[in-house]
Structure 1
């Protein structure tokens, strides 16, 4: 299996870092830098027990890693070890060898305001949003990073101390729960000696958490017209041609017992204003009719002068936790993303309504 590879462009410098001026470090900052350098030097000299080193090498070799492992040292990510590979990006792996991240870690340039170790998550919290206190502490340590705000979604992963986040544009990343180290790698799973892909359990539970957070009154729902057999969530844009093609199938899906919940997810430049007009309609039926006109006929319904509220953006921001990279993004109610053509027979199999 091919592990996710970190992009050559720096995640922080291009996507996250908001530099507005160069500041002369204060004496306190200089002292802090010395402490940080000392800590980093200390980490570099830490060793891994021979038993752990041997076991991790065996696990990775069995899983198909053929590249030479040059060393295994403690990772700067909590509860993980860093596996240095000859000529490739390093891996970060849990001691039991189950969870693996590939990618270089990037140091958050923000001043670390909160230094206490956060209360680590449990297995029961996998896929849940981080607590209010943890999020507050993380954001306090991310002051130099743009696109990081109270609206940024953060979720607990299966690795205690590793947090999954996404920018509002849907770009995902991983970071330590003290917000000191960030990577755009993903968590892969080794099971029965083989890489089986990304952590599907986390993805499902995270997506379920996102669905639960949505304002249901601001979804456009097309209920099943026969006994309900499946429920899907679709991130839609009125100008997306594939979204329009999927929308043509909605009556057929409804007749097969599928309820379709539409999340307004504008990605085209003209879409936010156009979709606000649709969502401004007075009631659910009027909203559905306006959405149908847009998707089936290309006719947009403008917002009335009396509608000054943006009903689209709040759910769009909450849906950032889905990390939508293209529309239509189709999810089953259990959080599983459909990753093939919705025009193939596999789609109905995926929904369990063959």
Structure 2
């Protein structure tokens, strides 16, 4: 009995990825093996049956590839359902993105919200020094007037421990964080500050969901709706995806 309890405790302590891998089908394992042999440094987030018969779909750093069940063939690109006129690749990636972005708590975001309850909420990965990021933020009041809340996460394009990264840290550590953010977006250099901050983890999150340019704007359902979008265009894009009630999710 003691041994059985000990075994159960050890099993419960195993990493989720190990348990999931142990339960993989032969086709899942073949797809994973083929991909990691082709790209040894690849970090595989998920392997599952694809809508395309005879293939598995594999999510790698926010990207989707399709691998044949025998591991012999790999396809990269978007998979469309011609009958429903739906991008199945984008829809599946959005689910994964939403899960990861929703895990970022409110106290690790810089939020610019309308005075009333927002109709929509977007997550924006931003770089302090990015020109289109600055253009987007210069219109933040116009987005808010249209009922759109902007939740900012940092993505210094130059990488960790670079001048843009340091500016993001300084903004985060400022006493008036939103004021420092807006001033930096206007071209002012923030006073150098250090403190516990989420900049590195937000940069890592961005790379995990496929961010490779800024601004990167994500809808509440995880859909990447683009880079810079003028206020009316962003509103129209959000309206085309879902009703306003989605903003409460």
TM range (shorter): 0.5 to 0.7
2:68 equivalent to 1:174: no
Contact 2:133–2:228 (Cα < 8 Å) also in 1: no
The one of the two structures with greater contact order (alpha-carbon pairs below 8 A, sep at least 6) is 2
Contact 1:276–1:310 (Cα < 8 Å) also in 2: yes
Deviation at 1:291, TM superposition (A): 1.1
Any idea what SS the aligned residue of 1:266 has?
Answer: coil
CA distance in 2, matches of 1:247, 1:222: 10
Alignment length (residue pairs): 210
Q: Please give the per-residue CA displacement for 1:110-144, whole angstroms capped at 9, x wherever unaligned.
A: xxxxxxxxxxxxxxxxxxxx955336887x96489
CA distance in 2, matches of 1:279, 1:251: 21
Deviation at 1:320, TM superposition (A): 2.6
Deviation at 1:259, TM superposition (A): 1.2
Which of 334, 338, 344 is 2:221 aligned to?
A: 334
Contact 1:238–1:294 (Cα < 8 Å) also in 2: yes
2:76 equivalent to 1:185: yes
Which of 240, 247, 250 is 2:130 aligned to?
A: 240
Contact 1:277–1:301 (Cα < 8 Å) also in 2: yes
RMSD value, Cα: 3.5
After superposition, the Cα gap between the structure-2 partners of 1:161 and 1:173, relative to the gap in structure 1 and judged at 3 Å, is: closer
Contact 1:218–1:312 (Cα < 8 Å) also in 2: no
1:131-210 equivalence runs, <5 A? 131=17, 133-134=19-20, 142=36, 147-148=41-42, 153-154=45-46, 156=48, 158-159=50-51, 161-166=56-61, 172-174=63-65, 176=67, 183=74, 185-192=76-83, 197=87, 199-210=89-100
CA distance in 2, matches of 1:292, 1:214: 21
**Rg (Cα) greater in structure:** 1
Deviation at 1:332, TM superposition (A): 1.3
After superposition, the Cα gap between the structure-2 partners of 1:312 and 1:174, relative to the gap in structure 1 and judged at 3 Å, is: same
1:110-121 equivalence runs, <5 A? none
CA distance in 1, matches of 2:233, 2:218: 14
Specify every segment of 5 or more residues in structure 1 that has no aligned partner in the other structure, as ranges.
1-129
Which of 291, 307, 320 is 2:181 aligned to?
A: 291
2:146 matched to which residue of 1?
A: 256
2:237 equivalent to 1:346: no
TM-score, normalized by length of structure 2? Answer: 0.68
